[in-house]
């Protein structure tokens, strides 16, 4: 069970059946795999943080209830919080609207040595603005190429970008929304707008499909994650992030100059 990136310009079709991959694997086995992955990720993050030369950006997109928060908590929660920066993108403020649509994104990019996680992202500017017709098509359509150029520049400057679309089925979303109305500890998660957004299912499907095909690139690939099973989702995301960091192979800095003399000085102190 492994993810492969969406090929550039691939014609992506989102089907409910694709959200259920991995149902044959036992939950206990998946949890064991996740513990192993997060342990390895912790080692790699520590080296990345100490090296402080490169950064990693994880972008999470998906429908309401697709598990963006859960992925952050399960995959990245065990890591040292000093090296992880989570940014949630909501409706832009007046100040943000006074700038280009990528301005607020640039402010939130992780510094060298860090893993940044975007809970939603600049891709809302080719998703919700398209589905809700917040701006004309002549405004949002050029953004695909603008985003590709932006991410290319970031890659050339030491930022590894991994983008995950958490794909859930319509039935699974219904079950998760109902669960929010049946559990008092989850009431706060439910919004009346969730129902009106659900009515736009087909419109969002078309927007997601084009987004995935138009903006998956060699330097910033999209991964289509079957997310109906949370444990499957977590393992698949963890695998990709670990493998990306292993390719970066971050190294701890060399010993300070004159280390033996420094040791002797400390011993004498």
CATH number assigned to the domain covering 16-268: 3.40.50.300
The pLDDT of residue 25 is 81
Specify the 3-state DSSP secondary structure of 90: coil
What are 124-181's pLDDT values in tens digits? 999 999 999 999 999 999 999 999 999 999 999 999 999 999 999 999 999 999 999 9
Cα separation of 159 and 118, whole Å?
14
pTM: 0.95
Report the C-alpha gap between 255 and 269 in whole angstroms. 21
Q: What is the pLDDT of residue 181?
A: 93
Q: What is the pLDDT of residue 191?
A: 87
3-state secondary structure 132-201: CCCCCHHHHCCHHHHHHHHHHHHHHCCEEEEEEEEECCHHHHHHHHHHHHHCHHHHHHCCCHHHHHHCCH
Q: Please report the DSSP string for 117-129 in residue order.
A: EEES-GGGGGTHH
Q: How far is residue 112's CA from residue 56's CA, in Å, rounded to a whole number? A: 8
Q: For the chain, which residues make up each domain, given as ranges?
A: 16-268
pLDDT of residue 89: 95
Residues 52-61: pLDDT tens digits? 999 999 999 9
Give the residues across from 115 on adjacent strands.
Answer: 56, 84
Ranges of residues in the chain with a pLDDT under 70 are 22-23
Distance between CA atoms of residues 213 and 120, nearest Å: 18
Structure tokens at 264: 């002797």
- DSSP annotation of 217 reads B
């Amino acid at each position: 069970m492994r993810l492969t990136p969406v090929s550039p310009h691939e014609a992506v079709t989102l089907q409910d059946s694709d959200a259920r991959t991995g149902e044959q694997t036992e939950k206990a086995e998946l949890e064991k795999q996740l513990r192993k992955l997060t342990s390895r990720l912790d080692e790699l993050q520590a080296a990345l943080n100490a090296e402080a030369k490169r950064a990693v950006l994880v972008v999470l997109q998906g429908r309401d209830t697709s598990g963006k928060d859960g992925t952050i908590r399960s995959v990245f929660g065990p890591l040292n919080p000093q090296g992880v920066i989570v940014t949630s993108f909501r409706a832009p403020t007046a100040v943000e609207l006074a700038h280009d649509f990528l301005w607020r994104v640039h402010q939130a990019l992780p510094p060298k040595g860090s893993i940044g996680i975007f809970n939603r992202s600049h891709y809302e500017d080719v998703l919700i603005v398209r589905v809700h017709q917040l701006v004309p098509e002549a405004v949002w359509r050029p953004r695909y190429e603008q985003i590709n150029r932006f991410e290319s520049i970031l890659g050339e400057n030491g930022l590894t970008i991994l983008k995950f679309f958490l794909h859930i089925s319509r039935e699974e979303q219904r079950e998760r929304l109902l669960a929010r109305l049946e559990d008092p500890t989850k009431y706060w998660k439910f919004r009346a707008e969730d129902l009106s957004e659900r009515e736009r299912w087909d419109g969002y499907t078309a927007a997601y499909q084009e987004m995935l095909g138009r903006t998956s690139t060699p330097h910033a690939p999209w991964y289509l994650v079957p997310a109906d099973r949370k444990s499957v989702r977590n393992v698949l995301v963890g695998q990709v992030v670990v493998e990306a960091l292993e390719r970066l192979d971050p190294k701890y800095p060399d010993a300070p100059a004159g280390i033996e003399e420094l040791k002797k000085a400390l011993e004498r102190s």
